Amino acid sequence: MATCGEVLVKLLEGYGVDHVFGIPGVHTVELYRGLARSPIRHITPRHEQGAGFMADGYARTRGKPGVCFIITGPGMTNITTAMGQAYADSIPMLVISSVQSRNALGGGRGKLHELPNQSGLVAGVAAFSQTLMSADDLPQVLARAFAAFDGARPRPVHIEIPLDVIVEPADHLLPGRPVRTSRAGAAPSSVALMAERLATARRPLILAGGGALEAGAALAALAEKLQAPVALTINAKGLLAADHPLQIGSTQSLPETRALVAEADVVLAIGTELAETDYDVTFKGGFEIPGSLLRIDIDPDQTVRNYLPELALVADAAQAAQALVEALEQQPAPVREATWGVARVERLRQALAAGWDQPTLSQTRLLTSILQTLPGAVLVGDSTQPVYTGNLTLDMHQPRRWFNASTGYGTLGYALPAAMGAWLGSAEAIAERSPTVCLIGDGGMQFTLPELASAVEAQVPLIVLLWNNQGYEEIKKYMLNRAIEPVGVDIHTPDFIGVARALGAAADDVADVAQLQAALAKAVERKGPTLIQVDQTQWQAAVQG
């Protein structure tokens, strides 16, 4: 007789789940009864937050939800930070947890791992949180979760199963069939209005975000049809190739790019929430859209947040972009200003290149050295200086190869476990597992350092590029810039090389480009993780010298 926990695993197989991230506990062992006989691979992190970050990274490269099995109480409080990052960045994640038996829910009896209202606690970082009150409801609840992933703005979903429900007999639910949902297409009447408005623009511009990751071909065709410069958010890097003549990077926080946006008479925002951490990373305000704003988003609510549009279209980004391309074929040939389009983009690129200071150039050299050695690499970043720099200066040739935690929720410690998940998820989405590089600072590394042992155990050939500036350097600068005496930022820096080797990883120190590229070439051949430590002072002296 199969229990609800065993049947859950079989149903997940039907939905195409191939990895689960979690730490077994006394309240989730029934899930593992089914998992032991399943083709689904289980990855054990060293902390539930790590499980969530792994699922996040997996989802970003795989393009499908990362799945976690999480223990009641402390397991759920541990994973909420990871859920918050995924929620902010619209990443699909399915978190399945246990919870107290139905007759003990909210009882306050001092049960093991008891929370007064676990579902309520996580509701703020989930598309929804649902308690499974009967095994019979399992197929419907899973269908609801995957409908949210497939057809709406993707965000974490939490399903909690009471301890008495997880052991209920559930043979009658097999074999279960997955229910899949398609995204909404673009309403023809709205497409016609938007195409007409774009066709009359003399200086059109496109702002594209992570919600348009599947729209690359249609977006390129639309930009070329309109001769519109395209600015990409950080999560959308690679949506237009780095060398596309209309691609202006992710520099919306800089005066030169803001000037270009201000010149546009019509701005099309597609798959972007137009939020602070993509358009104002200096947090000083000032990003404005004086021209007519048109918005396309899968989420109706999002089309009117932050900046009110003249026209809004609720639809899948790829379908909407393709529909606009086709509709524009029926419009009169647009009349563009001669100095717009490719010519204006080239002037912007020249202005930006002339403005980078030496620290920015040296950190960019670090990033370009990685891509020269490993041109197909996925770069997963934390909140650290080279990542902030790369957000501005680095452009990618393909999507899903640059993402980090410096935007949105902005947590520290994200990059190590997320990069591990990204490598595991890259097999299907990027044809083969791509070299995956974690970009992390010494401060952030200490948040999730034990996950290096998880990578050793799972034989993930992760490359951890550690930028060591002996403390929380960015926060220290922030304090000094505001005439605050630095407190709490000059932290103890451990021997990362020794710690990495003790955990079973390879480890190297590098000081210049040649040493870095040699270390990368060795690392990519290993079956387990490698930590490569770069001292900030040594690197900048070597590169600038």
Q: Is the dihedral of CA 181, 185, 187, 190 positive or negative?
A: positive
**What tens digit of pLDDT does each residue of 34-77 get?**
898 899 999 999 999 999 999 999 999 999 999 999 999 999 99
Would you say residue 529 has pLDDT above 90? yes
Domain count, the chain: 3
83 and 153 assigned to the same domain: yes
299 phi-psi bin (left φ>0, alpha ψ -120 to 50, beta other): beta
Measure the CA–CA gap between 203 and 228, rounded to whole angstroms.
7
**What tens digit of pLDDT does each residue of 449-462 get?**
999 999 999 999 99
**What tens digit of pLDDT does each residue of 136-151 get?**
999 999 999 999 999 9
Which stretch of 25-39, 195-209, 244-258 has the lowest confidence by average pLDDT? 25-39
Alpha-carbon separation of residue 42 from 2, 67, 209, 427 (angstroms): 20, 10, 32, 16
Measure the CA–CA gap between 303 and 357, rounded to whole angstroms.
37
**What tens digit of pLDDT does each residue of 374-396 get?**
998 999 999 999 999 999 999 99
Which CATH number goes with the domain that contains 324? 3.40.50.1220
Residue 181 lies in a domain: no
336 and 305 assigned to the same domain: yes
Average pLDDT, the chain: 93
Measure the CA–CA gap between 176 and 14, rounded to whole angstroms.
8
**What tens digit of pLDDT does each residue of 19-40 get?**
999 999 988 999 999 898 899 9
Which CATH number goes with the domain that contains 161? 3.40.50.970
pLDDT computed for residue 100 by the predictor: 82
pLDDT computed for residue 308 by the predictor: 95
**What tens digit of pLDDT does each residue of 469-488 get?**
988 888 888 889 889 999 99
Would you say residue 110 has pLDDT above 90? no
Among 302, 324, 352, the domain boundary falls at 352
217 and 321 assigned to the same domain: yes
SS3 393: helix
pLDDT computed for residue 432 by the predictor: 57
The reported pTM is 0.95
15 and 133 assigned to the same domain: yes
448 and 299 assigned to the same domain: no
483 phi-psi bin (left φ>0, alpha ψ -120 to 50, beta other): left
Would you say residue 80 has pLDDT above 60? yes
Q: What's the whole-number mean pLDDT along residues 248-275?
A: 96
Residue 85 lies in a domain: yes
282 and 399 assigned to the same domain: no
Residue 268 lies in a domain: yes
336 and 360 assigned to the same domain: no
**What tens digit of pLDDT does each residue of 314-346 get?**
999 999 999 999 999 998 877 888 899 999 999
**CA 260, 262, 266: angle at the middle one, nearest 5?**
100
pLDDT computed for residue 430 by the predictor: 53
Range 289-315 burial, b when 16+ CB lie within 10 A, else e: bebbbbbbbbeeebbeeebebebbbbb
Would you say residue 271 has pLDDT above 70? yes
Among 305, 324, 352, the domain boundary falls at 352
387 and 518 assigned to the same domain: yes
345 and 367 assigned to the same domain: no
Counting residues of the chain whose pLDDT is more than 70, the rounded percentage is 98
**What tens digit of pLDDT does each residue of 224-243 get?**
999 999 999 999 999 999 99
pLDDT computed for residue 39 by the predictor: 95
pLDDT computed for residue 545 by the predictor: 63
455 and 474 assigned to the same domain: yes
394 phi-psi bin (left φ>0, alpha ψ -120 to 50, beta other): beta
Residue 182 lies in a domain: no
Residue 180 lies in a domain: no
Residue 178 lies in a domain: no
337 and 372 assigned to the same domain: no
Q: What's the whole-number mean pLDDT along residues 167-192?
A: 90
Residue 11 lies in a domain: yes
Residue 397 lies in a domain: yes
pLDDT top residue among 508 and 1: 508
Boundaries of domain holding 144: 4-173
Measure the CA–CA gap between 291 and 261, rounded to whole angstroms.
8
The first and second tokens of residue 392, run together, are 């501005």
136 and 202 assigned to the same domain: no
Among 173, 203, 218, the domain boundary falls at 173
Q: What's the whole-number mean pLDDT along residues 104-120?
A: 82
DSSP 296-349: EES-GGGGGSSS--SEEEES-HHHHHHHHHHHHTTSPPP---TTSTHHHHHHHH
Counting residues of the chain whose pLDDT is more than 90, the rounded percentage is 82
Would you say residue 431 has pLDDT above 60? no
Measure the CA–CA gap between 252 and 236, rounded to whole angstroms.
13
pLDDT top residue among 280 and 314: 314
pLDDT computed for residue 299 by the predictor: 94
SS3 259: helix
Measure the CA–CA gap between 205 and 261, rounded to whole angstroms.
7
**What tens digit of pLDDT does each residue of 285-319 get?**
789 999 999 999 999 999 999 999 999 999 999 99
